[in-house]
Amino acid sequence: MALIGNCLSTAMGILPHTSVEQALDLALSLNVPFWPQLPKVSFYEDMYVQASEGFPGIEINEQEKEIRLSHERFQAGLMHLAEHWEDPEHFKVSERYSRTFDLFLQRDLDDYPHVRGQLIGPISFGLSIVDSEDRPIIYEQEVREILFPFMQKKLLAQRAELEKVHASPLVWIDEPGLEMLFTAFTGYTSTAALADYENFLAGLPRPRGVHLCGNPDWSFLLQLDMEILSVDALANGHILTRYFDQLKEFFDRGGIISWGITPTLTEELHGVNTDDALCQLEEMWDYLDGRGLPKEQILRQSWIAPARCCLINEDGACTVEKSTARVREISRNLRSRYGLE
């Protein structure tokens, strides 16, 4: 599949909406739409809970908003998982875990260049989900050996459903835990993570993408065999652009950067207007152009998005709606000014 960049608009999957239809309308207002994840509608739509569906040993406490792994139930569930390992239906997201997925598939998606899904990545899931002793499950070798191929199966099942309704689907991997990986406290080395992740990505069809809002070791990400990297450029773009050599290699391989540039926190949105965000974006691109990465190439291989997901604003979905409107405005501005189709 040939990916289209051209400063198209998109956004992250998690939305603060309590209305399924309003969330779908927002997602479909962008050039690259996605099915929304709505944790304020149900705890089962939390991205970690959502990805856990079908994973052996998972215990969900909806009342306490807690998810854990029981090693006893994990062992008991391995046989059941093995029996269904070749059945894509076992890895599909059900209506209980997503109110929007099937409804998204029923919308008219023909006029979009791409449609997108998303899933929490194995590193973030493994670092965040703990066992009865509060130990992250990624430290357990037996669990980790199931975790990566399980998430692979979940992504393949999701993509297969998107492929039924659109010729150019893609599914990116949410990995907020990659920032945590590069601390001294994880006990799971970046060397081991790189090997695991390369094997994980190798089992996925292209295009492959990773999204995160934090500030990891960018060289780790930029060397991965993937086509899309979605970042919080508002907060971290000035750091990302300093990894010039790796970033240029990524672009020269045909990669697309999704630049998260409009604030989604209410207080930040009031302090950064559309012109400010556009100016910051172009300053980063001009810096890269001055170093030898042509701005024309960056424009052809970029998407525009909000800076990050946000569920904590007191105004509910209002700020995120405004932030997304600014994304559309910036995208239109850039595409018109630079003659992008």
Helix (H) or strand (E) holding 259: strand 256-262
d(CA 289, CA 303): 17
Pair of tokens at residue 172: 């990116």
Burial of 195 per CB tally in 10 Å (0-12, 13-18, 19+)? exposed
Question: ∠ CA 180-185-189 to the nearest 5 degrees?
Answer: 75
User: What domain count does the chain have?
Assistant: 1
Q: Is residue 75 part of a domain?
A: no
pLDDT per residue rounded down to tens, the chain (341 residues): 689 999 999 999 999 999 999 999 999 999 999 999 999 999 999 999 999 999 999 999 999 999 999 999 999 999 999 999 999 999 999 999 999 999 999 999 999 999 999 999 999 999 999 998 999 999 899 999 999 999 999 999 999 999 999 999 999 999 998 887 766 556 677 788 889 999 999 999 999 999 998 888 888 889 999 999 999 999 999 999 999 999 999 999 999 999 999 999 999 998 889 999 999 999 999 999 999 999 999 999 999 999 999 999 999 999 999 999 999 999 999 999 999 97
**CA torsion through residues 181, 185, 187, 189, sign:** positive
Q: Is residue 76 part of a domain?
A: no
Closest CA to 67 of 85, 88, 45, 83: 45
The DSSP code for 140 is: -
Q: Is residue 3 part of a domain?
A: no
Q: Is residue 115 part of a domain?
A: yes
Residue at token pair 């991205």? 47
The DSSP code for 68 is: E
Residue at token pair 């601390």? 183
Q: Is residue 129 part of a domain?
A: yes
Q: Is residue 72 part of a domain?
A: no
Q: What range defines the domain where residue 294 resides?
A: 8-50+91-337
3-state SS, residue 243: coil
Q: pTM of the entire structure?
A: 0.95
pLDDT of residue 200: 95
Q: Is residue 106 part of a domain?
A: yes
Q: What is the CATH number of the domain that holds 149?
A: 3.20.20.210
pLDDT of residue 305: 98
Q: Is residue 43 part of a domain?
A: yes
